[in-house]
Amino acid sequence: MPGTVAQALRDAGRWADGAPLAHDDPDTHDWWYRTEFQGAGARVLRCEGLATLAEVWVDGTLRHQSRSMFVAHEIELDLGDDPAARHTLHLVFRALQGPALRRQRWRQKLVAAAALRGVRGAALGRMPGWCAPVPAVGPWRAVTLVDPREQWISHVDVETRVVGADGFVSVRIEVRAPRLARQACTGGKRQDAGAFVSMVCGDQRGAMHRADANVFEGELRMPSVQLWWPHTHGETVLHDLSVEIGGGRFDLGRVGFRTVEADHGADGAGFALVVNGVRVFCRGACWTAADLVALPATREAYEPWLRAARDAHMNMIRIAGVMTYEANPFFDLCDELGILVWQDMMFANFDYPADDAAFSQDVGAEVEHLLLRTQTNPSLAVICGGSEVAQQAAMFGVPARDAMPEFFTERLPSLVARYRPDLVYVPNSPSGGDLPFQPDTSVAHYYGVGAYRRGFDDIRRSCVRFASECLALSNVPAEESLAVLMPGVAPGSAAWRVGVPRDNGADWDFEDVRDHYVEALYGLDPRTLRETDPTRYLDAGRAVSVDLVTEVFSEWRRHGSACAGGLVWQLQDLRQGAGWGVLGVDARPKAAWYAMRQMFKPIQLLITDEGLNGLHLHVVNDRPVALRARLELASLRNGETPLLQAGVDIDVAAHSTQRITASAIVGRFFDFTYAYRFGPREHDVTIATLWDRRTHVVLDEASHLPERTLGEPVDVGLAARLERDATHSDWVLVVSARRFARCVQIVDPHYVAEDNFFSLAPGRERRVRLATRDPAADAPDGSVRALNGAQHRVFRGER
């Protein structure tokens, strides 16, 4: 325990093609769990999560029923006087069926289990075309038996706030009376119990006073407190919090002090997060699950995924309304790593029965449970009413005034204000505007570039203010992943298509979207290429995801942009193959992850093509200190011959951006964008480099191609050699090229490159650290190739 039905079936071998056998569908059977235990007296059976229609039986008596997998339950038991007596616990999970509800105003197509309209369960695993049919059924969170006499603290409320330069932490606890009475008695004389209850935060300590019989309250002031920041903007400072009762100390976790507010802009139509008074561009991805089958709740399960997010400079993760609530270790890790969390409530697409009393009660308990257990987590920043409820209503013709039930607009925000007043509340994702899915108002799901196959001009035309979902690309896994997970599976085959996501009922899938951009940008025929040269077909597919991520986020992060955030759909795949994840099921990064790592840096150089206005260069400085740098520009013919070179010194204030035109740097006319077309194009690439003026270290680099069409591969003079890093004892791959190399790909079965799928300026070395995925692995042994290059370069190290 815990363990889902799907996990038990997988362990028992009743599994095929990544899902339970058809006759073992977890949603269509009753499932029984049974165990015996020994004990006597009063006990509390604590069930942290029972999915989805559950019954708890003790010694043949029904003790509890639940129709929500998202709440915890405490069941008081009296086990009698015989400590040797044995007792039987049965947990029963009934076949999924929903209650009779009022007529629906619309019928959604995303979730196959219609019962989830009235039963609180996860859509995850029940969405055809998105992932394998692995619904959450069973005791998916811990089940424990507790002696209440051993509970010193039965309830805790914590609130942090920042006033001026100071932090304040308030704690309210309920203490078990018998233990407290014994601790408050010294030398045979009764003492004031309040003198024995105090709170400690960091290096500050203060007494707590009695508010009720066994309830104590206190508040500590933290003078000139160090604030918690998302890691892209500052330090992730956390403070230990505990209470002392008599001689014992009880850990309440760690708290961080920060403020989070929503800035809707001068026109009231925007949405930006302001953290500690600084407007933060939120960038990251939407979370799926650490393991679709087991739904684990441990630090060990979460950590590889969240560290990969931080390594890509993501500062926000969104848990969408079609997933599940994650356990406390998830939020604790986000606290440590400096990753903001956007948390949807688990509502998606349905016309929910807001007027049903039982449903409303379940929802209230669900919200309370989530907010109380995350009170100490500064990473939690946004609570959202759910995903695409308002959008579905609007698309089915429901008037805007009727689209959102009152529990999204009134009940939920009131609960958030009560339990976590420091959070920003968003009614739904997307929401705002005359239609709730307009990208130019408030929160949007932007798929103009992506599923809707729009050109790059649509990125600016749509004027996205905040994209809580975007792109949704069918991201080709790394070559190393395909060799292990899908050996011999040909692109485009039936086995390959299983791993490609599609919207239910659509006559296209997301590989069709990727192929569209391969043809539109590179001038390649993806269907012919897939048959004649599958390696180049997959390389072009990886490269196009890099280009799409680069173009979208260059526009959104540029100086003067109205956009304040973009979260890519999704962080990790739910099955092997070319899924939405920027990380494969094996956690190996895909090309899109590397593109995000490049585009999400705190110090960033961006290039935007402004047509007849030439190239604009944008320097972003998210760090809390000023940037003093040199910006250099070079345009090359045939990827190697300089036609012009120029540079300028720039100073960029902390937490700010700056724009410089290429014409201002060069000081004369040059058709950088090939917009005027006065004769044949003179150059094929412009490279901008940002240097630290003090250390002369390259801070960032960006390139612009006036034309992306791929011709026949050429000899770019690619070279690679391995070195050992004397400081870290790591391997470093040094890559260089004679000509400009596009989308350089490093392949090694046992090592992962820190940087990959990057463009390489001629004559400049790129040093790439290699990290082993297997401590027992031998030295690196792989190859390097470029999208426009004719040769592979092999590298091999020696121990």
* CB distance 222 to 201 below 8 Å: yes
pLDDT over 60 (residue 186): no
* Higher-scoring residue by pLDDT: 33, 247: 33
- Architecture, CATH, for domain 152-255: Sandwich (2.60)
Could you tell me how far CA 726 lies from the centroid of its own chain? 35
**Rounded distance, CA 694 to CA 671, Å?**
32
Domain at 719-796: CATH code: 2.60.40.10
CATH superfamily membership of 5-146: Galactose-binding domain-like (2.60.120.260)
Strands 73-78 and 42-47: antiparallel
Q: Coil, strand or helix: which one is 13?
A: coil
pLDDT at 505: 79
| Mean pLDDT, residues 368-376 | 95
pLDDT over 70 (residue 193): no
* CB distance 386 to 347 below 8 Å: yes
Does the N-terminal peptide bond of residue 658 adopt cis geometry, omega within 30 degrees of 0? Answer: no
* CB distance 540 to 529 below 8 Å: yes
| Mean pLDDT, residues 760-784 | 92
Q: Each residue of 150-172: b (16+ CB within 10 Å) or e?
A: eebbeebebbbebeeeebbbebb
**Nearest to residue 287, comparing CAs of 580, 643, 611, 553?**
580
pLDDT over 70 (residue 180): no
pLDDT tens, position by position, 277-296 = 999 999 999 999 999 999 99
Q: What is the pTM of this model?
A: 0.96
Write out the two tokens for 574. 């739910």
pLDDT tens, position by position, 458-488 = 999 999 999 999 999 999 999 999 999 999 9
pLDDT over 60 (residue 137): yes
* CB distance 37 to 43 below 8 Å: no
* Higher-scoring residue by pLDDT: 361, 685: 685
Question: No. of H helices and E strands in the chain?
Answer: 17, 45
Please report, as a single letter, which amino acid is at residue 607. Answer: I
Please report which confidence band the pLDDT of residue 190 belongs to, taking 50, 70 and 90 as the band edges.
Answer: very low
Name the CA dihedral angle for 386, 391, 394, 399, rounded to a multiple of 10 degrees.
30
Q: Each residue of 240-258: b (16+ CB within 10 Å) or e?
A: ebbbbbbeeeeebbbbbbb
**Rounded distance, CA 384 to CA 426, Å?**
5
Does the N-terminal peptide bond of residue 421 adopt cis geometry, omega within 30 degrees of 0? Answer: no
Q: Does 719-796 match 152-255 at the fold level?
A: yes
pLDDT tens, position by position, 717-768 = 999 999 987 776 789 999 999 999 999 999 999 999 999 999 999 999 999 9
Write out the two tokens for 384. 């959202």
pLDDT over 60 (residue 182): no
Please report which confidence band the pLDDT of residue 191 belongs to, taking 50, 70 and 90 as the band edges.
Answer: very low
pLDDT at 99: 83
pLDDT at 504: 83
**Rounded distance, CA 568 to CA 554, Å?**
14
> Which has the minimum average pLDDT: 251-255, 353-357, 419-423?
353-357
* Backbone φ and ψ of 377, nearest 5°: -95, 110
Please report which confidence band the pLDDT of residue 214 belongs to, taking 50, 70 and 90 as the band edges.
Answer: confident
Looking at residue 98, the DSSP 8-state letter turns out to be: P
pLDDT at 291: 94
**Rounded distance, CA 534 to CA 241, Å?**
56
**Nearest to residue 287, comparing CAs of 231, 341, 350, 349?**
341
* CB distance 309 to 336 below 8 Å: no
Please report which confidence band the pLDDT of residue 370 belongs to, taking 50, 70 and 90 as the band edges.
Answer: very high
Does the N-terminal peptide bond of residue 99 adopt cis geometry, omega within 30 degrees of 0? Answer: no
Find residue 172's DSSP bridge partners: 157, 217
Q: For the chain, what percent of residues have pLDDT higher than 90? A: 83
| Mean pLDDT, residues 72-91 | 95
The neighbour count for residue 421, using CB atoms within 10 Å, is 9
* Backbone φ and ψ of 387, nearest 5°: -120, 125
Instruction: Tell whether domain 604-704 is in CATH 2.60.40.10.
Output: yes
**Rounded distance, CA 649 to CA 629, Å?**
6
pLDDT at 109: 87
* Backbone φ and ψ of 21, nearest 5°: -55, 150
* Backbone φ and ψ of 93, nearest 5°: -120, 110
Domain residue spans of the chain? 5-146, 152-255, 273-600, 604-704, 719-796
Contacts of 448 (CB under 8 A, 6+ apart): 439, 454, 458, 459, 462
pLDDT over 70 (residue 194): no
Burial group, residue 37, by CB count within 10 angstroms (0-12, 13-18, 19+): middle
pLDDT at 728: 66
The whole-chain average pLDDT of the chain stands at 93
Instruction: Tell whether domain 273-600 is in CATH 3.30.559.10.
Output: no
Write out the two tokens for 552. 């979208």
**Rounded distance, CA 322 to CA 118, Å?**
15
pLDDT over 50 (residue 430): yes
> Which has the minimum average pLDDT: 326-330, 412-416, 520-524, 626-630?
412-416
pLDDT at 401: 76
